[in-house]
Structure 1
Amino acid sequence: MIGGDFNVVLNDEEKIGGIPILAQDIKDFAFCINSCELEEIQFKGNPFTWWNGRATNDCIFERLDRMLLNAELQNWFTHLEVEHLARTCSDHAPLLCTYGEVTQNQHRPFKFLKFWVDYESFFGTVESTYGDIFKQFIIREEIVRIKENLFEESPSSGNRSLLQQSQAEHKKYLHYEEEYWRQKYGIDKFVEGDRNTKFFHNLVKGRRKRLQIQRI
């Protein structure tokens, strides 16, 4: 499997606005894919994975990011799927590759998390959702998707402002998610830098695994 930003499109339908596509670039990219005997994984979500950050006549949307795999991997994983996530921290959309059936999350008992007090609507949030930060995170991500589609249909300065506001709200909930996993592992202090959400999540999973009883 190979994936990421290839910085080239495969046809005219994968681009809106900007400089015309060079036919030779499209042929070279298609020839490379065929020579390596790769196939593209079907995707869902927004068809465009890159935006130049501008509005009106200077606005450009392109599909530059994709996931490719060979026949052997397709035999191992028959239900691979790629989802184009919302563009929040970059001008490129993250690609989420999944396979098989999605397991439902188990119900968890209510627990108070101290980072909730930093939220401006703390009491209302607790009363309405019992502090389900993950549900709120999904809602904010969906709002970003809607604003992206609205801006692509009408790339005005006003719609760009609405998109940027929804992206800022989404980033705030990214912070809440990070604080959740940090508290779950019991770390009070850590060096600020790159986002540590995945790091804390893996630590919690590792601790749970160590606490499991394998045999008596």
Structure 2
Amino acid sequence: MINKAIFWNIRSVRTQKAFERLVDLHKIHHYSYIALLEPFQSPSELETYRRKLGLPNARVNSSAKNWVFWENGWVETDSTDTCQQLTMKYQLRGTDDKFTVTTVYARCSALERLELWEDLENIVDHTISPWLVGGDFNTIIDESEKLGGLLVTNQETADFASCISACSLNELKFVGSCYTWWNGRIEYDCIFKRLDRVFGNNDFMQLLPNSEVHPLIRQGSDHTPLHVICNALQEQVVKPFRSLLSKAEADLKRYRHIEEEYWRQKAGMKWYTDGDKNTKFFHAYVKGKRRKLHIKEIHTRQGDIISRSHNIVEEAVNVFKEQFMENQEWNNVELLQCIPKLVTDGDNEEMETMPTKEEVKHVVFSLNGDSASGPDGFSGQFFQSCWDTIGTDITNMVKAFFLWMGVAQICDSH
């Protein structure tokens, strides 16, 4: 079905003879599937590069950031195209074997990547065949996948990890250095990250359980090419069974706890006190919330129907811009006299009264400790459990708001 594939953020097919290197690799390995990210060329050039590779088929996604090429034995049956991913469904020529391959180039912004995670979760709902997912995800799973630079926060990794869990994806065995990207600097400014990876769903792992990813030498790009070998042969187990079982049980317990934490925060519900640890329930609850919030299509003011995500976003922004943009100056204030006064002078005075430390504490301890963390990466549980240490600083910051002062300014004054 899938023999060998390569996923590579090439960072321009014209840089440092990068494409020439790819052609040489293809001559050696005879790839069934080639995925190039950030080729930095017009889609009109795709055919030229297809001929250079000698593969009969090629496709580019809507953002022109994903180029894919595949062999003649794969017959395209369907595709899904958004700005951060390109999903191709294939059938092996002359057989009933079907499979799906998704190539990913994720945006640098965590907010923009939310659309990608939603795309992948929508794809898995409509995929019943072996599914291979690879590319540049532009984020990491935990702090062990970064060397140098600023500390990793939970805010950076939580959405990616929950998407992997929601899609039931398994990372293919990685043989080599875990870092796939380098910022090109040395000494204290040097940063390495694992931004590129390849996953398979459960059907893929059952069909090709011994598949591996081999990172090649980083040359012609700041990203490592990922050389994927899909293999159905099972590895021989040589370690003692009891030792393997103990390690597996310990890992399972640890990962179950991590999964519960992710889905508990994603669900936005209060954690049950009776010890209910059914993450499947929270998973279903989160997917239900997303399904309700998902906008499949909208009607424009001109009567057109828009279904693509980025077009829906543009139309929504334009509508609200027009609504809140002042076209003419309105000086008639007589109508204000018709608005009833619902807030009394006493209410105003009470709202402007400086809050006490006890009032701020009451609000903090009213927070749901199990809710998702804020932009600073701290949940309500942190502020409650550390109140004796940080209570005075939190109160001072609240007072800064009432005094129209900067946070640092009022903290320095105490």
Band the TM-score falls in, shorter-chain normalisation: 0.3 to 0.5
Task: Select the structure of larger CA radius of gyration.
Answer: 2
Give the TM-score of the pair, scaled to structure 1: 0.45
TM-score, normalised to structure 2, is: 0.24
Name which structure has the greater RCO, CA cutoff 8 Å, separation 6+: 1
Higher helix share: 1
